[in-house]
Amino acid sequence: MELNLTGKTALVVASSQGLGKAIAEQLVLEGANVMITSRSEEKLKEVAEQLQSYNKGKVAYVKADITRKEDIENLIQKTVETFHSIDLLVNNAGGPPAGTFETISDEDWYKAFELNLLSYIRIIREALPHLKKNGGKIINIASSSIKEPIPGLLLSNTFRTGIVGLTKTLAQEFAPYNILINTVAPGRIATERVAFLDKLNAEKLGITKEEMEERVKKNIPLGRYGTPEEFAKVVMFLLSDANSYMTGQSFIVDGGMVKAI
């Protein structure tokens, strides 16, 4: 199967660590030119040097806070100035704080909305004129909570499902431009975010982080956490020329953990 990603320009958001970094890495290995971005210039420089050492696709980076409209505008502008196009867009953002309904303030709700939903909207809006030129692919990263809410993660449960509604609607609006857009949702993938959540839940239960991990693994049919690379490979297929007819869909990468149909 030919992915035909060589020479294409990809913008991967929140890509200095975790899932975003894994996706950027796989794109570079496939020969794509990749713009990475996050709020940490130090991390971006380190990741860019690592990816560039593969001598495959080209890599550049722009520091950006995706809750700021002006940062998003600058990010799109710099990507086009550097690589002359945007063919592939991967929207990604760190998870909002844990909490229950009675502990979450209005400020928390606004911040989570800006980070986990409005940022995707703004980035797509800015990138759209470039994607429309030759068609393209958009991936919106969400969470397995789009199918089964996760206790204690009310903010994530609310805004991740909003991503699904956005994706489904834009699939219809963008189809005439040959732009395919899909949602990909991770379950328990071994990232810093998941390790933090395991530690948080372990403290609540008065057990060790390792014991917490073992409890979670018992609910995963494959009996283990996924790797960022495994998740990234699913995204690669959806971004590639091998995917020519799937749009507006949600794909869960979770080792069979979610029981919902």
* Full domain range(s) for residue 17: 9-189+227-253
Residue 4 lies in a domain: no
Give the pLDDT confidence of 217-248 residue by residue, as tens digits: 999 999 999 999 999 999 999 999 999 999 99
Residue 204 lies in a domain: yes
Does the pTM exceed 0.85? yes
Q: Quick one: tokens of 78?
A: 């710099």
So what's the pLDDT on residue 193? 87
- When divided into structural domains, the chain yields a total of 2
Asked if the model's pLDDT at residue 113 lies above 90, the reply is: yes
3 state SS of 9 = strand
Residue 261 lies in a domain: no
Residue 160 lies in a domain: yes
So what's the pLDDT on residue 261? 85
Residues 221 and 147 both lie in one domain:
no
DSSP per-residue letters across 93-153: -PPPPPB-TTT--HHHHHHHHIIIIIHHHHHHHHHHHHHHHH-EEEEEE--GGGTSPPTTB
Asked if the model's pLDDT at residue 197 lies above 90, the reply is: no
- Comparing CA positions, the residue from 1, 25, 6 lying closest to residue 235 is 25
Q: Compute the radius of gyration of the chain from its Cα atoms.
A: 18
Residues 152 and 33 both lie in one domain:
yes
So what's the pLDDT on residue 144? 96
- Comparing CA positions, the residue from 191, 228, 229, 182 lying closest to residue 88 is 182
Asked if residue 210 lies in contact with residue 244, where contact means CB atoms within 8 angstroms, the answer is: no
Asked if residue 13 lies in contact with residue 92, where contact means CB atoms within 8 angstroms, the answer is: yes
Region 45-67 average pLDDT: 97
Give the pLDDT confidence of 137-186 residue by residue, as tens digits: 999 999 999 999 999 999 999 999 999 999 999 999 999 999 999 999 99
- How many other CB atoms are there within 10 angstroms of residue 205's CB atom? 10
Residues 202 and 120 both lie in one domain:
no
Region 65-76 average pLDDT: 98
User: Considering the chain, what percentage of its residues have pLDDT values greater than 70?
Assistant: 100
Residues 108 and 211 both lie in one domain:
no
The mean of the pLDDT values for the chain is: 96
